[in-house]
Structure 1
Amino acid sequence: MARQTAALSHPHWDRRPADPIRYRITARIADWWNGRQDARAGLPAVAPDPDPTEPPHGRSAAFTPHLEKLRRMANDAMHHELVHLQQEVAEPAYQLARAGAQLVEAERALTRAQEALRDLKAPTEDELRARRVGETDTDESVVRKRRLAPYLERRARLEAHRQEAEEALVRLRQTRAELQERIARSQSVAAARARRIHEHSWRRIGSYWQRLVRKHPAGEQLNRTLRPGGPEVPGWIDPAGERVTAGTAAGARPEPT
């Protein structure tokens, strides 16, 4: 109890691990029963081992009706997660596409505002000194302020326009980042759910295969030369297209005996 309390007090251990998907007793009994019945029927067929003393070069995947049933049930459940994911991210994906188009236009608007501000030319010294009708006796500083005022007003408007365009661009970039994060979070959850289904299916396959090997008349040879065929992690989980299959180094799992 003290050890458990100490573990839960760790800063990175603030809750108990989640329970695996419930393996109901009815499903467990069904897997055991099918394993025993298939073993009695001699399923799967085992080819003679030419040299039992040598380790097998590679075990072939074995499929029985019950293994095929478990595999297809897992595939169906994982595909359902994909359907749910597509429905969940449909609206954010649409908003993301719209934000992307708006972002392109906002970048162009900012570029135009910056160019307009850069191309605005200040009045020359001669233009600042130029007097108009009625300004013959006006102080030169007043004349300069009058000639400079339109330029400053124009520059202030362009600067305000540039600032508005920049703020709009920042808002759109923030919106895009939030939508991308929302979609990525949904994808992570869907991937985790699909992997849980995958692992639960292999848990059931392990129970079935264990009973099959123990009751099969050629159980030792069966365990040496064959491995259970089961579901793969769907390719949509990994953008690179890599699949984690039973027996690979990346997705290796303890083989049931």
Structure 2
Amino acid sequence: MPKKAIERDAAAVKAIKYGLFARWSDWRCAGKDAKCGMPELLVPTGGAQEPPFITVEDTSHPSRPALAWATARTVQLGQLGRGMAELAWARFQEGVAEDRIRLERVRADHTSAVTRVETATKELADLTAPSEEELQQRANGEGETKIEVVTARRRQDFVKQQRTKESAVVNARAAVVAADQEAALVRERIQVRFEVVRTEAAIVEAYVRRRVASYLGRLIRKHPDGNRLGVLIRSGWQDKPAWTTWRDALGHTPESVHIEPENNEEAA
């Protein structure tokens, strides 16, 4: 992937402005929701089906696990953030498509090189020095050649075969190292792009949390049961994509390709 493309994506990562219209919209929804009762207002996000009418003190009781609840507005804001994050993820997938294809090719080259190393190493190990009888074996046209010359020629042929097989082993090992280096370079480029898109997701999360917090702040102040709502509803991003918690893009995607270091040691 071109370096300019990575720099362009990184430069495009900016904070999302919480504009006046968005703020007014959140406050207006909070004012309308403050007139609704809790059964009508709360939306279950866990396994419960009905709003638990508990007091603030009840939530600290060890025998009663905390339940996650939301409102239609917080769900809508979470889905808004999910859409923005998934759009950034789609751009990331499109941007690294060529690198993923290249990484697959590098994987094939690496496997082929390892196979060549094993084959060449075995052929070199199976190569044995010719016996004295084999050294004195004459080829066509050597009927009157001195035996010393014939022996030198047979020994030279063996040395040539040995050097050829040794060269094949060296070249195959060099191909393994080259594949490792290229794979590391491609993985690094993909990881840089992943860090960019994960930063975009963090910005989206901050934006969603800010809007939800603004909405809930007004809702809790206006609603008659604001104390209980403040306990039941949190300003977290409940629709946060799972990939935002990944540390390595290749380690958490089916298309990832890994070249294990121990294979190189065995091949060497």
Fold-level match, TM-score > 0.5? yes
Aligned partner of 1:252 in structure 2 is: none
Is residue 200 of structure 2 the alignment partner of residue 193 of structure 1? yes
Give the alignment partner of residue 81 of structure 1, picking from 88, 107, 132.
88
Report SS of the residue matched to 1:122: coil
State the alpha-carbon separation in 1 of the partners of residues 143 and 235 from structure 2.
Answer: 101
- After TM superposition, list the pairs within 5 Å mapping 1:26-41 onto structure 2: 26-41=21-36
Aligned partner of 2:264 in structure 1 is: none
1:82·1:190 contact (CA, 8 Å) conserved in 2?
yes
1:17-76 C-alpha deviation (Å, 9 max, x unpaired): x98533223322332232223224557648795656544543441213x32321221111
CA 1:216–1:115: 2 relative to 1, 3 Å: same
CA 1:224–1:155: 2 relative to 1, 3 Å: closer
State the alpha-carbon separation in 2 of the partners of residues 52 and 172 from structure 1.
Answer: 61
CA 1:55–1:111: 2 relative to 1, 3 Å: closer
State the alpha-carbon separation in 2 of the partners of residues 212 and 51 from structure 1.
Answer: 17
CA 1:112–1:219: 2 relative to 1, 3 Å: same
State the alpha-carbon separation in 1 of the partners of residues 193 and 151 from structure 2.
Answer: 63
Is residue 56 of structure 2 the alignment partner of residue 61 of structure 1? no
2:135·2:154 contact (CA, 8 Å) conserved in 1?
yes
State the alpha-carbon separation in 1 of the partners of residues 107 and 202 from structure 2.
Answer: 32
- CA offset at residue 185 of structure 1? 3.0
- CA offset at residue 194 of structure 1? 1.7
State the alpha-carbon separation in 2 of the partners of residues 101 and 27 from structure 1.
Answer: 51
Aligned partner of 1:167 in structure 2 is: 174
- CA offset at residue 133 of structure 1? 4.0
> For this pair of structures, how many residues does the alignment match?
220
Bigger radius of gyration: 1
Could you list the structure 1 runs, at least 4 aligned residues long, displaced by more than 6 angstroms after superposition: none
1:39 counterpart letter in structure 2: A
2:24 counterpart letter in structure 1: I
1:61 counterpart letter in structure 2: W
- CA offset at residue 163 of structure 1? 1.7
State the alpha-carbon separation in 2 of the partners of residues 203 and 39 from structure 1.
Answer: 19
Give the structure-2-normalised TM-score: 0.68
Is residue 20 of structure 2 the alignment partner of residue 25 of structure 1? yes
- CA offset at residue 161 of structure 1? 2.2
2:29 counterpart letter in structure 1: N
1:98-147 C-alpha deviation (Å, 9 max, x unpaired): 221222222112222222222222122344466864444x8x5x665333
CA 1:59–1:227: 2 relative to 1, 3 Å: farther
Is residue 180 of structure 2 the alignment partner of residue 180 of structure 1? no
Larger displacement relative to structure 2 (24-33 or 42-51): 42-51
Aligned partner of 1:112 in structure 2 is: 119
Give the structure-1-normalised TM-score: 0.70
Aligned partner of 2:5 in structure 1 is: none
Give the alignment partner of residue 125 of structure 1, picking from 110, 132, 136.
132
Is residue 159 of structure 2 the alignment partner of residue 152 of structure 1? yes
CA 1:183–1:50: 2 relative to 1, 3 Å: closer
